[in-house]
Chain A
Amino acid sequence: MPDFEQASTLLGTLVVVSPLVMTFVLGITLLLDWPLTEQSIGRLVYSSIVVGLSAAVVILVLMLATGERHVAIDAGDWVEIPHHFHFSVKIVFDRLSVPLAILSFVLAGTIGAFATRYMHREPGFNRFFMLYAIFVLGMVATSLAGTIETLFAGWEFVGLSSALLVAFFQERAAPARNGLWVWTVYRVSDAALVLAAVAMHHLIGEGDFNELLGAGPWPDETSNVSTGDATIVGLLLVVAAAGKSGLVPFSGWLPRAMEGPTPSSAVFYGALSVHLGAFLLLRVSPLLERSPLVCVVVVALGLMTAVFAYLAASVQADIKSALSFASLSQVGIIVAEIGLGFTYLPLFHLLGHACLRTLQFVRAPTLLQDYRTLENAIGSRLPRTATPWMRFGGTGFHAWLYRFALERGYLDSLLTDYIVGPFVRTFRLCDSLERRWTDFLSGEASRESDQVKPHFGTIEEFS
């Protein structure tokens, strides 16, 4: 059906191009210092989201109508080293990517509309929408990616914009610190993804998911990769997913990400970003099936995260942390579902969870009024739901568990004091060894930069 092919190519391109145009327009005007007005930014965001969303919906309708379950649009090889490496850009529409792309457009579009009013007269209005555009582009690229390189590009866009949005209020120290935290965790996850990509290239010579996962539309592919290979690539992908989705032990970044303006916390960390890891695992689920070990790891990680996050959520005394841990516990369950071999169930769970959580986040500041309404309806103070099984094990254990939850499972301090600390110390040790060696060779203090103080000169010098 050539007509269908042409139409889907055109529409598919539109889906990606519309956020791309938005990003370029916003970026270039900012670079050239021609700041757009709030109104024109609003219109730009509105039109590009509507165009992208409609195109995605039309593709969905066409696919449903024709029964086609896999549409790929290949933008060719962007880099090619014959017989060694090629970097191809390819987008794929199937039962996994279309719902996620539509979800991204719907949630991002709603939040875009929300933010045009919420961010009104904020000095960083243009910057916010610049990052927002990068984020949307990244989300769409990741969801539609047909090769691991394309996925990585989108993944990076999401990571970059997320970290910068966390640090949106850059004049205060805490957002900058927490933005850096998020960035660092994302880098670890990115490194794992890059290693996975390298491993994939090594195994099958290219980054195309079709080759790795086998032919056929998602989720009915059957991978031909050997169990050993699947375990290596799979474990790397699990690390990547764990970082991005805040699974144990990386969970600490999620509540820290609540530094930005409410809409960005809501849609990005509460609903979309945090599901990307689960999405990645869904995308490669045929590969996971090949390796029981990876499946066990995924299930274990998911369940641990779910239980841990539930515990943490029930002691948080501020609404954004409470919601972010609540969000995390569902992400844990979704991941566990994937590990158990389900495909449609986690997908549906993911979509529903993203919508509900966005609504809850967006309404977070109204909690006081909600509580009041509820109290008035019930006619008394709200009951505190003491969960009975927490009483097990006596008060000592109870208090221990409470502290464990309040301290967020000590995950952050474990990472900083026992992973990052030794890491930094090791490199400092190397540095001091090197210095000793060069001092020895030169017979004197070899590093001039140690002795020289910063030099500002005097006023007269500039006459």
Chain B
Amino acid sequence: MQSRTHLGGTSHILQSHAADRSKLERLSEAINDAAHLLPAQGPITVFIHHNTLHAFEDLPFHDAVRKGAHVFGCQPYLSEERYREALRRGRIRFADLQEVLERDLGQGASEPIPCFGSRMQLRLALLQYPLRTGPTAELVWHVAEANALRRVRTEASSATRARLLAETRRWVLRDLRVGRDNQARNGRNPATGHHGEQHVPESLAELLDRFGDSDIENWRDDDWEGFALQALWRVCCDGVRHLPQFTVPQGMSIRHRDLLFDATGTDPDALVHELLIRSVAAFLDQGLAHWQLPERDHGFYRAFCALYGQPGGPPNRWMRGLSTELRRLRNENVSPLESIAESLELLGVEEEEWDDYLSTTLLALRGWGGMVREVELRGDRVVQPIPTGSLVEFLAVRLVLDRFALAFLARESIDFPGPLSALRAALATRTDEHWPPSVEQRAFLVFQLAQIFGLSPDLLHRLDEAAWSRIVEEIETFSAIERRRIFHLAYEQRFNVQTLDAIAVHARRRKGRPVSPAFQVSCCLDEREESFRRHLEEIAPSVETFGAAGFYSVPMYYRGASDAHFTPLCPIVIKPQHWVTEDIDIKHAQEHRRRAKTRRVLGAASHRVHIGSRTVAGGALLTGGLGVLASIPLVGRILFPRLTAQLRQLASGFVQAPPVSNLCLERNDPTPGDENGHIGFTLAEMCDMGERLLRDIGLIDGFSRLVMLLGHGSNSQNNPHNSAYMCGACGGAAGGPNARAIARILNDPRVRAVLAERQLAIPADTFFVGGHHNTCNDSVTYSDLEDMPASHREEFDEARRLIDAALERNAHERCRRFMSAPLTLSFAQAREHVEARSEDLAQTRPELGHATNAIVFVGRREWTRGLFLDRRAFLTSYDPTQDDAECSILTRVLGAVFPVCSGINLEYYFSHVDNRGFGCGTKLPHNLAALLGVMDGAASDLRTGLPWQMVEIHEPVRSLFIIETSPEAMTRIMDRDLGIGRLCRNGWVQLAVLHPETGAIDLFDEGQFRRYHARASVLPTAPSSVDWYRGWRDHLEFAEIEAS
């Protein structure tokens, strides 16, 4: 049986290599290396923002994005059209473009290029003007459609056009015709004849004939234009015809599938993926399907072999023989790794190709592959863990299926009978080469540029081959990716200048800390809190605000009173060592138990309904009996989301846990754990956490009587990506419990006594209040208010009123970015608008998340207070004057700030520049799969990254870190913390330091700090934020706000 030889691995292959253990080890390493390229996004319920190109972080940014673009087949930057559009509307300034280009070219900028001035001028033109290029057939079409051989390009000014025509005319009338007449007289013999300068090429002679040069004196302007262009075209073609190639061909793919797809248009992956997605989803499923995959516990490979190995299986023609093969693997006990080796052998993949072959194979279904890896590595984060080695098993199954699909389609489409190892050779001859470019393709670029520069055919005709070579080399080596890199640098430079200028100018007007503030508020460093803090400071100038990483130095696993499980609340880089639970106050315990029971009964009932609606009999009863009633919530929730939400809250108020609860914070047992008696922190740990927070944000004196500590989260409906809107410093969860915990710790008199011994005296009349800011509906809830001394009540009520007012304004400022919110909303209406948004099932943009984030400021608030930063800056409070010489505080602050903020920024960057490749595309067709992620529509790869609705208004720039410290201190930190050093030195973030005393700014560029000189001397000012942003939808310039 012929198929047997290339489909079924025979055991002798196995035996001859079984002895070679080291080969399998090498294979295992190769798989491991390839696996690093898979997306590192875990289950969607815990969305951790991270650098999408994490695998390439040890490369400089621009090299990495280029490599990433190649490996993943994605875009490294925005498209040229987007950048050109930014240039048109002034977002990129021409001067910046010039400056960036000059810096990039260095010495070579002024090097002359024949006819085109300098390299600088030529490159600028290439950046400014979109040149048409494409396959020759497309160019033919373009010429026909755009009349490109009849009309000069519109970008050429009328003067340039006139010059082109005049010079052509002069050349033709004076030189060409005369030369031609001489030629005619002497007889055309290019081989021996000596024609001097006035040699008329054949092509031009033919052109003259065609235009009818006998009445050349009567040609109209139109004729001259056509003639000039066609002469130019012919000269360009002649010029480039014999030039060497300056570009290198793109390597051919080494996957059989790609070659087969290119050659025949049939796609084996379509067959394989349909089956593979189905099975791997069933394998990974965390409880969506009622019926679990049989033999799931034995791993994917065994389960798959067992399932598809039995006879009487799918009748699909491409799967013929699959069950026999799977039975063989099972019976002969072939391990997954051996099976991979066997498949590679059968596919004819040599050992030196392993790395590339395995990575392209894994990346073909990267989302699912990545999820297998994540669930395998972090079994603690899922309900149903999977055995180690699952990724290898996944790959083994995949390669077996690949073999069958390839063999089937190769036979069907090209009658390929031979062994699969010969398939690539057979296909290589059938694929179209896109390289080298045709003469037309090369000439067309020069042709277009010549029009823009107004170069006459005469001029180009006289160039020698060396000159042509120089021109074409310069044009071709300034490739599209290079152009986009330059554009991107200019795009970022404009923003950096604006930001640094704003900080530098505003520094002159800074005031110190407010003396005896009315109250103090600390928020998460999140850039969404920037506007909230600003508005609060505007309406209450005596308030002081701080920014801290939102886990408030309390890393913990937390379980609320009505939660079923513990959730880790801290940045992903920290693994919590402590467990904290919420308990109900003893007075309400009975009530709580009753309510918990009701909840349990209701929960079990609704679970039964949920399941029942999908069964036959239960479904019939339900839908037939009660189905019509579903129209009430359906219509209500869709047409009146806010009202329905209020009713629902009213109803659930009867069964929710009573609002009076306690945090189990303190532990006496030495070992922490998640069981009774081990919950909580010791007193010493609490003191350390409290001290650390206060020192981090620089709040060690000047305490007001009331200090609010606000965590944040976001609540929205119908949103699988909900976790991505939550607090990044709490690992994609709501940070309210952390704020509550730290407030209780700091209110503890024993803690205060210890802190006083450590030179951190908190006045006795200072009271800390924990709270939670819901950034979606802009509400704040406070916790443990019953512990508040009566003396503070009045102040608290006043503070709450001010915070509420600030929240309304914050909602108002957010609404300017929602296209569906009218610009005429009042503050109160804006609040209602965002409330409705958070409850609306149909709302795909409940809030805009971290979109537009671009700045990370670490330093005292006084530098940025009164500055309108447009919700674009992460603001971390840090006071360098209280730090030691080693900058130990800054080091630990940056240890949390860098991974969190750069992770968010880079994830937004990549999800925006290539939303389909790096992001997860539009939300609209998303389909929740296996409770782990989303697919597009009925079945697709698992989509990682951010949806378009989240990143739509983002400006993809690398974040600019501005840190209040000295260049030397920052350099030391970069040396000490390798992660930070790598991010800064490889340009994944941009870095500037702000001198704590003088306010001078040093920009980190190419490995060293250089003094930044502000280009602006004044900033626009506005009486209040509202006056500055009102009526404006787009990004805004930074401005000084007088009110605060």
Contacts and interface: CB of A to CB of B under 8 A. Distances in A.
A285 interface: no
Interface string A451-463: 0000011111111
Interface in B266-308: 278-279, 281-282, 284-285, 287-295, 306-308
A398 B611 CA distance: 21
B315 A386 contact: no
Given A368-B931, A410-B314, A457 B140 contact: yes
B627 A367 contact: no
B563 A319 contact: no
Nearest to B631: A355
Contacts of A377: 562, 599-600, 602-604, 606
Given A121-B952, A259-B938, A353-B623, A317 B603 contact: no
Contacts of B573: none
A354 interface: yes
A51 to B, nearest CB: 17
A235 to B, nearest CB: 26
Interface in B371-396: 383
Tell me which of B291, B819, B936, B952 has the highest count of chain A C-beta atoms within 10 A of its own C-beta.
B291
A262 B924 contact: yes
Contacts of B624: 345, 348-349, 352-353
Interface in B899-932: 922, 924-931
A385 B625 CA distance: 23
Nearest to A408: B278
Interface in B595-611: 596, 599-600, 602-604, 606-607, 610-611
Tell me which of A319, A364, A414 has the highest count of chain B C-beta atoms within 10 A of its own C-beta.
A319
Interface stretch (A26-34, A135-143, A219-227, A325-333): A325-333
A329 B290 CA distance: 15
Given A314-B289, A333-B616, A169 B638 contact: no
Interface in A387-435: 387, 390, 395-396, 398-400, 402-403, 405-407, 410, 413-414, 417-418, 421
Nearest to B313: A403
A115 B287 contact: no
Interface stretch (B527-535, B663-671, B839-847, B1020-1028): B839-847
Contacts of B307: 399, 402-403, 406
A174 B307 CA distance: 26
Given A175-B937, A330-B620, A459-B440, A374 B610 contact: yes
Interface string B607-633: 100110111100110111111111101
Interface in A164-184: 168-169, 172, 174-175, 178
A452 to B, nearest CB: 15
Contacts of A65: none
Interface stretch (A6-14, A73-81, A210-218, A305-313): A305-313
Interface stretch (B17-25, B327-335, B712-720, B998-1006): B712-720
Interface stretch (B142-150, B864-872, B973-981): B142-150
A317 B289 CA distance: 5
A115 B924 CA distance: 10
A47 interface: no
A261 B622 CA distance: 27
Contacts of B619: 326, 329-330, 333, 353
Nearest to A175: B937
A330 B620 CA distance: 6
Contact of B627 (A322, A353, A373): A353
B139 interface: yes
Give the size category of A's interface with B: 35 or more
Contact of B718 (A363, A375, A463): A363
B842 A117 contact: yes
Interface stretch (A16-24, A106-114, A190-198, A241-249): A106-114
Interface string A247-267: 000000001111111110000
A329 B616 contact: yes
A381 B144 contact: no
A168 B820 CA distance: 23
Contacts of A348: 624, 628
B940 interface: yes
A384 interface: yes
Contacts of B150: 463
A261 B924 contact: yes
B639 interface: yes
Given A117-B820, A317-B289, A356-B630, A260 B602 contact: no
Contact of B635 (A110, A121, A406, A458): A110
B631 A371 contact: no
B719 A365 contact: yes
Contacts of B616: 306-307, 310, 329, 333
B316 interface: yes
Interface string A336-350: 000000000100110
A399 B306 contact: yes
B325 to A, nearest CB: 16
Contacts of A106: 631, 635
Contacts of A319: 288, 927-929
A351 B624 CA distance: 8
Interface in B479-519: none
Contact of A174 (B230, B294, B620, B937): B937
Interface string A435-463: 00000000000000000000011111111
B312 interface: yes
A365 B720 contact: yes
B282 A315 contact: yes
A313 B284 CA distance: 17
B614 A326 contact: yes
A283 interface: no
Contacts of A114: 638, 841-842
A168 to B, nearest CB: 8
A459 B141 CA distance: 8
Given A368-B931, A399-B294, A459-B149, A178 B628 contact: no
A377 B133 CA distance: 61
Contact of A322 (B317, B614, B625): B614
A54 interface: no
A295 B949 CA distance: 50
B912 to A, nearest CB: 15
B439 to A, nearest CB: 10
B939 interface: yes
B136 interface: yes
A418 to B, nearest CB: 7
Contacts of A458: 140, 440
B45 interface: yes
Nearest to B844: A118
Contacts of B587: none
Given A378-B607, A417-B316, A110 B623 contact: no
Contacts of B306: 399
A458 B563 CA distance: 71
Contacts of A400: 310, 312
Interface of B: 44-45, 136-137, 139-141, 143-144, 149-150, 226, 230, 233, 278-279, 281-282, 284-285, 287-295, 306-308, 310, 312-317, 383, 440, 444, 562-565, 596, 599-600, 602-604, 606-607, 610-611, 613-616, 619-620, 622-631, 633-635, 638-639, 717-720, 722, 819-820, 840-845, 922, 924-931, 935-940, 952
19 contacts: A113-B639, A116-B842, A262-B924, A263-B842, A319-B927, A333-B619, A352-B624, A363-B718, A365-B720, A367-B928, A367-B931, A378-B607, A379-B600, A402-B293, A403-B307, A406-B278, A413-B316, A417-B315, A456-B137
Interface of A: 106, 110-111, 113-122, 168-169, 172, 174-175, 178, 255-263, 306-307, 310, 313-323, 325-326, 329-330, 333, 345, 348-349, 351-360, 362-387, 390, 395-396, 398-400, 402-403, 405-407, 410, 413-414, 417-418, 421, 456-463
Ranked nearest first, the 5 interchain pairs of A and B with the lowest CB-CB distance are A352-B627, A377-B603, A259-B937, A353-B623, A326-B614
